[in-house]
Amino acid sequence: MKKLYWIFAVIILFFVGDRCGGFVLKKMVSNSEFRYSKMYRGDADCDILFMGNSRGLGFYQPYIEEVTGKKTFNLSYNALPMNLGRVLLQDYLKYNKKPELLIVDITMMNRVDTTLISGFNVYTPYSDSLGAIVKEHTKNVFYAGKLSHLFLHNSEIFQRAMFYYSNSDEDWIIDRVINENMVNAVDEQRPFYAGPFDYSTVEMMFSELNKTVKIAKENNIKIKLVVSPFFPPFVKKIVNFEHLQKKVKMATGDDFHSSPFFPPFVNRAVNLDSLENRKMSKGIGFYNYADAVQDPTGFGDYQHVNIKGAKIYIDKMKADGIFD
């Protein structure tokens, strides 16, 4: 019987420690200078709001603020999918003042990373809609987070919140130059080099883009859609780009309807020339900067600009009046 008490002791001690630890960690997350902590704290008012995946980190805030004189905030995160972006936008508007302009890198629509979504479990105490999306994609993680508060903080998002506990992440961008091996191997057909960008894949993301546009319109926020730069020789690795373009046009119009029968364009070669900068109907701008940075040293890898590349990109955006 005495042994049984020890087993109960393990269980009770586990939960007591778990709740205490969880409480401390939650406080630390909420006090962090990490972007989402600031956002849920209501410390993220801005004039220009950005949204994207890791490529969206190319919206290098310190330089944009320097050249525009406007306050910025970036919702981008590695592999951030559109549906999560939409929820974050809603939460941003709930806790902070409305921005004048929303700039979205539309290359965030080609995949849904459930691991990342589950990582946002750490912010679910502040947002029911975030909880709903975590529950929708990773039900077990959602409920496990309720059971163990230490588990709630078991993610890269939490680690970043700790990393940026007392210093801002506004200057978060790749700080390396693409290495020579990668430059030389761009034509190889290994998985890493084969071109992971296939834009025909995730239909649901277009309805999420549609919702995002509607939210922006309802809040009188100007919205501009961009394609951030790729390493120039890598551009030819992108497939189904026309498909993306057509779907984006549909998704951003009021007449959007999701069609599961939309013809697939599997492995169709990209014709980036066909995507000229243009103003789309309904007042939404669509701007293609895929080949805006030609200098190879402006890239950290095939898909991400470094600070140097970001500055070239931002200068072009400024010249095109994107930030106006």
Partner 1 sequence: MIFNSLPFFVFIGIFLPLYFALKGKARLLLCLIGSYFFYGWWDYRFLSLVMFSTLIDYVVGLKLEKEDEDSKRKRLMLISMVVNLGFLGFFKYFNFFQESFISMLNDMGMQAHPSTLKILLPVGISFYTFQSMSYTIDVYWRKIKVERDFIRFATFISFFPQLVAGPIVRASDFLPQFQKDRTFTWDRLISGTGQMIWGFFKKVAIADSLAPFVDQCFQSPEGFSSLHLLIGIIFYSFQIYCDFSGYSDIAIGLARVMGFDFPDNFRTPYFSKNFSEFWQRWHISLSSWLKDYLYIPLGGSRGGSFGSVFFIVMPLFMLSIFWAGSWQTALIYLSILAAVSFATAIYMRKSEANKVKGFTYMNNMVTMLLGGLWHGANWAFYFWGFLHGMYLIVQRFLGKPFGRLMTALRFPKFLQQGTDILIVYFFTCFAWVFFRAPDFDVAAAYIQGIASLENFTPGSIVNKFWALKGFILIGMLLLVEISDFKFNYSQLIQKSPAFRVASFVILLWIIAFFGSFGANSFIYFQF
CB of 128 to partner 1, least distance (A): 24
Nearer to partner 1, 132 or 185 (CB): 185
Q: Which is nearer to partner 1, 176 or 282 (CB)?
A: 176
Whether 74 contacts 50, CB under 8 Å: yes
Count of C-beta atoms within a 10 Å radius of residue 22: 18
Yes or no: say if 33 and 166 are a contact pair by the CB < 8 Å rule: yes
| Binding flag, residue 185, partner 1 (CB under 8 A) | yes
Q: Does residue 189 touch partner 1 according to CB under 8 A? A: no
68 binds partner 1 (CB under 8 A): no
DSSP state of 217: H
Task: For residues 287 and 323, give the distance between their C-alpha atoms in angstroms, rounded to a whole number.
Answer: 12
Shorter beta-carbon distance to partner 1: residue 47 or 113: 113
Beta bridge partners, 324, equal: none
Residues 8, 3: Cα–Cα separation, whole Å: 9
Interface size with partner 1, residues (CB under 8 A) = 35
Is residue 21 involved in binding partner 1 (CB under 8 A)? yes
Kindly indicate which of the ranges 8-16, 32-40, 91-99, 248-256 contains the residues binding partner 1, using the contact rule CB under 8 A.
Answer: 8-16
Stretch that binds partner 1, among 67-75, 138-146, 206-214, 282-290 (CB under 8 A): 138-146
* 60 φ, ψ (degrees, to nearest 5): -70, 105
Q: By CB under 8 A, tell whether 173 contacts partner 1.
A: no
| By CB under 8 A, residue 165 contacts partner 1 | no
- Is 62 a binding residue for partner 1 by CB under 8 A? The answer is no
Contact positions with partner 1 (CB under 8 A) in 92-121: 115
Q: Of 141, 216, 225, 314, which lies in the binding site for partner 1, with binding defined by CB under 8 A? A: 141
Give the contacts of 179 (CB within 8 A, at least 6 positions apart): none
Closest CB 69 distance from partner 1, rounded Å: 31
Instruction: Choose the stretch contacting partner 1; rule: CB under 8 A; options: 145-153, 237-245, 257-265, 272-280.
Output: 145-153
SS3 content of the chain, % helix, strand, coil (to 5): 55, 10, 35
β-strand partners of 299: 305
State how far the alpha carbon of 302 is from the alpha carbons of 72, 203, 236, in Å.
26, 25, 11
Nearest approach, Cβ of residue 98 and partner 1 (Å) = 32
Cα atoms found within 13 Å of the Cα of residue 322, Cβ hemisphere only: 29
DSSP annotation of 299 reads B
Contacting residues toward partner 1, per CB under 8 A: 3-4, 6-7, 9-10, 13-14, 17-18, 21, 115, 140-141, 144, 148, 150-151, 153-154, 156, 159-160, 163, 175-176, 179, 181-182, 185, 190-193, 301
